[in-house]
Amino acid sequence: MSSISDPPSGSFQLSMLINDTRYRSYTFQFVALLLLIMAFAYLGYNLISNLQAAGLNISYQFLGEPAGYDINQTLIPYTSQSTHWQASLVGVLNTLLVALLGCLMATIIGVVVGVLRLSNNWLVRQLMSVYVEIFRNVPVLIWILIIMAIFVAVLPQPRDFRGDDPEATMVLGAFAFTGRGFYSPAPIFGPLSGIVIAVFLASIAGIFALRSYAKKALFDRGQVIKTFWPSVAIFFLPTIIVYFVLGRPITLEYPALTGFNFQGGIFMRNSLISLWFALSIYTAAFIAENVRAGILAVSKGQTEAAASLGLRPGRIMNLVVLPQALRVIVPPLISQYLNLTKNSSLAIAVGYMDLTGTLGGITLNQTGRAIEAIFLLMLFYLAISLAISAIMNVYNNSVRLKER
Amino acid sequence: MSDTHAQSVAYVRDTMLPEQAPPVTEAGVIKWMRENLFKGWFNSILTIVSLYFIYQIVTGAFPWFANGIWSTSSLAECREVLDGATGACFSVLTERWNQLLFGFKYPSEGYWRPTLAFVFLIVALAPALYPAAPRKMLFFTGLYPFIAFWLIWGGTILIPLMVLIGVIAGYFAFKRFERQSFAMGMLAGLLAAVVVIWAGGLIPSLLPGFLALEAVPSRDLGGFMLNMILGTVCVSLSLPIGILLALGRQSSMPIIKWICVIFIEFIRGVPLITLLFVANVVLAYFFPPDANIDLVLRVIIMITMFASAYIAEVIRGGLAALPRGQYEAADSLGLDYAQSMRLIILPQALKISIPGIVNVAVGLFKDTTLVSVISMFDLVGMIRGPILASTEWNGVYWELWGFAVFVFFIVCFSISKYSQWLERQLATDHR
């Protein structure tokens, strides 16, 4: 900060490197750089001599070798004969899966709770602040383990569904909530199902087209076209008609009890669900606070000004309050997403096989390649967080107040 | 009034009506309920749903608490006493109380030591946290780290004493050279401290039994004590480091700035658990084979690095929020960099950063539970490992996790309430 410079007094002297503010910063930087290089050299020398003493080297060969362990929840084909690289890939996808699910659910819960915290209902307000305080102030690891304990201690085992008078029954005949995880029907896509999906996508495009046409009509001719019910009709009708005309190409496969376990359908393991739910409710408490702060940040004058222009409450929310509140809400929201993604590495506590569980867990223990495995692990998380920061910067620039 | 209109209007009231009480629905409790609980059908539904929810929780939890058993020695015994009724087996807490607090390896005759250290912690924190406390107590705060180290880890008192003497020597050397320049003072202080500690390090090995408590190795620490140790040590170490990093990041010297930026962004980009893995399996490769740094120290190093990066970002926010005029005012007074930072900039920037720093501190304290993943037995590790896996208490989930939730909630909630109070105390504007 100090930009005071003494008048130059004759030729350069060595003492000026310390006493003259013009040159002092070079001295400091030189010393800092020197110390840094020395520290790295020291650590690197230790690393090399330690590795030599242990007869090890740095090599990523292990990624190509067969992993030799099973992963119980995979999104891509994987067997114990696959390589460590594929195991890591399974881990990456599992991390992204739980992060995506968690972000979705945390946003929904967080927005609802944040809005309800501003409700004029006293009881609801109090309940929501109790929720926020309890979940914010207790480590997420404890919540993960508590939800896992619910699976272990409370929910019925698949064998309880057996027999003529079972202790537990499936919900609606389609969903089974067991201690091992949740079973739900899985869609089976028949040969003609592509057409149904195409029609569904086309009808969504149609809704957007209708909306933009209505907007254009409003701006050009002042003609008001109602869009809500037509949109609903476009959303459902064509798809349903095509679905039945083509003879139901998409069917559901229901989970069925065979032997001691359920077969078929979609199976979500208890570890995934406990991680997902715990991360969601924990992060939602933080998101709720962000949402509340964002709504409170829009001054009351804005609402009143909009009302005095004759806007109705729904439009005030949509056109005036939300656009301004989102500017405040979105940046912390994205950093909460980032936190959630990083917290998903706690999967290892419940045995969910995310990247920390595969690459940083079993692969590390089997191959003993600690430095390489942890380096790759850090690189992955670093890449994700840098990508998310980049997205955030783009967003911040796009919503920045354009001041002249 | 009445006179002027007496002829033109049929009837004009010429006396005031007595004031009437508001209608029953517009006063007192009923009015409050109408406005706050039953305003519109949606609100009424919300209220009824909430009431039902509260009713369910209370009726579910009350018998469980009320019938709680506090004095059995195993789950089977507790179930026998309960005899099928709903009730909690709180006896797991009473029976394993010491394990929950101190871990299962800490020598049981030494439990008074961490307890005393905890009591001293409150005394030491009082002047730092509560501005009205007598300033002389800060002297004790300065001594506290050495007392606490001696109490918890044991061994001869000479080791912490020598470090203390080194720190004091460093302080006097700093004072002696501070007049010349701040950097010179720091350098002299550091040198003096290192020399004295190095020289004094010879003495404890000569008198290993002098005022010695039974030595406890770090791996025997556990329970909530470990969370408290990690939390307090790492927060207090990461504050100064975080301030330096923040100043470095704001610095106009490119090399220093980039060192700080890369460090901060790297640490903030990776989860704490990977850093703990580093502490657990990788860090040993980077030190000489005979260094033998124990796990708790390695974990403290990593968590401190983690926390200081976050604190640096918070303080950078505070520095950026200060008006530019403050920096210029400091310059125009002729203060050099160290003086302007210490006297003008940092006091204001830190005040702005208090909520953020407290958030980081609370987050860090919660994150100390992560050490259970690298098989250290903190509170969560004790519950997951030795207690739930024991034959006596296999299956007592809710009492134990409820206890963990309760303990962490109390600590973290009171920290955040304290920070709100402090913010109000320090608010000097808008009066």
Residues A194 and A133 in one domain: no
- With CA atoms as reference, the chain B residue closest to A31 would be B256
Helix (H) or strand (E) segment spanning residue A263: strand A261-263
Crossing angle of helices B397-426 and A140-153, in 10° steps, is 160
| pLDDT score of B404 | 93
B113 assigned to some structural domain: no
- Which tens digit of pLDDT belongs to each residue from B94-106? 888 888 888 888 8
Which residues of chain B make contact with A43, given a CB cutoff of 8 A?
A: 286
Domain holding B82, by residue range, is 25-93
> Is the Cβ of B337 closer than 8 Å to some Cβ of chain A?
yes
Residues B88 and B229 in one domain: no
What is the number of structural domains in chain B? 2
- Which domain-ending residue is among B41, B64, B93? B93
| pLDDT score of A4 | 54
* Distance separating the N- and C-terminal Cα atoms of chain B: 47
| pLDDT score of A190 | 75
B401/chain A closest Cα distance in angstroms: 7
Residues A239 and A336 in one domain: no
Residues A169 and A260 in one domain: yes
> Is the Cβ of B218 closer than 8 Å to some Cβ of chain A?
no
Residue A333 carries which side chain, given as an amino acid letter?
L
What is the number of structural domains in chain A? 3
Task: Name the token pair of A151.
Answer: 């699976």
Residues A227 and A325 in one domain: no
Question: Looking at the partner chain, which of A32, A140, A374 has a beta carbon nearest the beta carbon of B256?
Answer: A32
Q: Could you tell me which of B93, B92, B151 has the C-alpha nearest to residue B120? A: B151
Domain holding A232, by residue range, is 186-253
Q: What are phi and psi of A269, to 5 degrees?
A: -65, 150
**Residue bearing tokens 């390695």:** B298
Which of the residues A141, A146, A154, A367 would you substitute to probe the B interface, choosing the one with the greatest number of B C-beta atoms within 10 Å? A141
> Is the Cβ of B285 closer than 8 Å to some Cβ of chain A?
yes
d(CA A6, CA A9): 8
Q: Is the pLDDT of residue B431 over 50?
A: no
Residues A139 and A279 in one domain: yes
Task: Answer yes or no: are the C-beta atoms of A124 and A281 closer than 8 Å.
Answer: no
- With CA atoms as reference, the chain A residue closest to B412 would be A137
Residues A258 and A344 in one domain: yes
Crossing angle of helices B158-178 and B137-153, in 10° steps, is 140
d(CA A360, CA A378): 10
Helix (H) or strand (E) segment spanning residue A269: strand A266-269
The pLDDT mean for chain B works out to 85
Question: Looking at the partner chain, which of A4, A153, A346 has a beta carbon nearest the beta carbon of B397?
Answer: A153
CA angle A355, A361, A366 (to 5 degrees): 125
B112 assigned to some structural domain: no
d(CA A161, CA A341): 35
| pLDDT score of B4 | 59
Residues A229 and A320 in one domain: no
For chain A positions 104-163, those within 8 Å of chain B (CB to CB) are 116, 119-124, 127, 133-134, 136-142, 145-146, 149, 152-153
pLDDT per residue of chain A (404 residues) written in tens, 0 to 9: 445 555 555 677 777 776 677 777 888 888 889 999 999 999 999 888 888 888 777 888 888 888 788 887 778 888 878 888 888 888 899 999 999 999 999 999 999 999 888 888 888 899 999 999 999 999 999 999 999 988 888 888 777 777 667 777 777 777 888 878 888 888 877 777 788 888 889 999 999 999 899 889 888 888 888 888 888 888 888 888 888 888 777 777 787 777 777 777 778 888 899 999 999 999 999 999 999 999 888 888 998 999 999 988 778 888 888 888 888 888 889 889 999 999 999 988 888 888 888 888 888 888 888 888 899 999 999 999 889 888 888 887 887 766 55
Most confident of the following: A367-371, A395-399, B191-195, B403-407: B403-407
Task: Answer yes or no: are the C-beta atoms of B373 and B276 closer than 8 Å.
Answer: yes
CB-side neighbour CA atoms (13 Å) of B55: 6
d(CA B247, CA B322): 13
Residue A227 carries which side chain, given as an amino acid letter?
T
d(CA A100, CA A394): 20
Residue A377 carries which side chain, given as an amino acid letter?
L
**Residue bearing tokens 């720093």:** B357
Most confident of the following: A311-325, B43-57, B277-291: B43-57
- Which tens digit of pLDDT belongs to each residue from B152-170? 888 778 788 888 888 888 8
CATH number at residue B232: 1.10.3720.10
d(CA A178, CA A157): 5
| pLDDT score of A6 | 55
Task: Name the token pair of A183.
Answer: 């079973």
- In eight-state DSSP terms, residue B270 is S
Residues B397 and B249 in one domain: yes
| pLDDT interval class at B429 (50, 70, 90) | low
Cβ-proximal residues to A345 (8 Å cutoff; 6+ apart), any chain: A95, A354, A355, A356, A360, A381, B271, B273, B274
Q: Is the pLDDT of residue B187 over 80?
A: yes
A366 assigned to some structural domain: yes
* Residues β-bridged to residue A177: A182
CATH number at residue A377: 1.10.3720.10
B110/chain A closest Cα distance in angstroms: 29
| pLDDT interval class at B54 (50, 70, 90) | very high
CB-CB under 8 Å, B404 with A381: no
Residues A91 and A239 in one domain: no
B138 assigned to some structural domain: no
pLDDT average, residue stretch B259-263: 92
Alpha-carbon radius of gyration of chain A: 29
Which of the residues B285, B298, B371, B372 would you substitute to probe the A interface, choosing the one with the greatest number of A C-beta atoms within 10 Å? B285
Q: State the sign of the Cα–Cα–Cα–Cα dihedral A331, A332, A336, A342.
A: positive
A231/chain B closest Cα distance in angstroms: 26
Task: Name the token pair of B247.
Answer: 């100043």
* Residues β-bridged to residue B354: none
Cα A149 to Cα A228, B56, B399: the distances in Å are 45, 21, 12
CB-CB under 8 Å, B43 with A119: yes
A325 assigned to some structural domain: yes
| pLDDT score of A1 | 47
Question: What are the residue ranges of helices labelled H in B251-345?
Answer: 254-269, 272-277, 295-321, 324-332, 337-340
Cα A125 to Cα A122, A172, B31, B87: the distances in Å are 5, 34, 18, 31
For chain A positions 364-403, those within 8 Å of chain B (CB to CB) are 364, 370-371, 374, 377-378, 381-382, 385-386
A302 assigned to some structural domain: yes
A60 assigned to some structural domain: no
Residues A231 and A206 in one domain: yes
For chain B positions 412-431, those within 8 Å of chain A (CB to CB) are 412-413, 416
A336 assigned to some structural domain: yes
Task: Name the token pair of A384.
Answer: 């994700």
* Residues β-bridged to residue A176: A183
> Is the Cβ of B347 closer than 8 Å to some Cβ of chain A?
no
A381/chain B closest Cα distance in angstroms: 5
Q: Could you tell me which of A260, A259, A261 has the C-alpha nearest to residue A183? A: A261
B335 assigned to some structural domain: yes
Residues A164 and A284 in one domain: yes
Which of the residues B366, B368, B374, B416 would you substitute to probe the A interface, choosing the one with the greatest number of A C-beta atoms within 10 Å? B366
Scored b (16 or more CB within 10 A) or e, A310-347 reads ebeeeebeeebbeebbbbbbbbbbbbbbbbbbbbbbbb
pTM: 0.86
B134/chain A closest Cα distance in angstroms: 31
CB-CB under 8 Å, B409 with A50: no
pLDDT average, residue stretch B79-107: 85
Cα A122 to Cα A179, B43, B52, B394: the distances in Å are 37, 10, 15, 42
CA A311 to chain centre: 36
For chain A positions 299-358, those within 8 Å of chain B (CB to CB) are 342-343, 345-346, 348-349, 356
B79 assigned to some structural domain: yes
- Which domain-ending residue is among B93, B110, B138? B93
- Which domain-ending residue is among A199, A226, A253? A253
Q: What are phi and psi of B261, to 5 degrees?
A: -60, -45
d(CA A97, CA B107): 45
- Which tens digit of pLDDT belongs to each residue from B264-278? 999 999 999 999 998
> Is the Cβ of B278 closer than 8 Å to some Cβ of chain A?
yes
For chain A positions 23-62, those within 8 Å of chain B (CB to CB) are 25, 28-29, 32-33, 36, 43, 46-47, 50-51, 53
Task: Answer yes or no: are the C-beta atoms of A139 and B369 closer than 8 Å.
Answer: yes
- Which tens digit of pLDDT belongs to each residue from B332-358? 998 888 888 889 899 889 888 888 898
Q: Could you tell me which of B353, B346, B350, B311 has the C-alpha nearest to residue B327? A: B346
Lowest-pLDDT range, A351-360, B208-217, B255-264, B354-363? B208-217
Query: How many H helices and E strands in chain A?
Result: 14, 7
- With CA atoms as reference, the chain A residue closest to B277 would be A374
d(CA B155, CA A251): 72
Residues A178 and A197 in one domain: no
- How many other CB atoms are found less than 10 A from the CB of residue B206? 8
A215 assigned to some structural domain: yes
Residues A282 and A340 in one domain: yes
B194 assigned to some structural domain: no
- Which domain-ending residue is among B49, B64, B93? B93
| pLDDT interval class at B3 (50, 70, 90) | low
B201 assigned to some structural domain: no
**Residue bearing tokens 């320049």:** B181
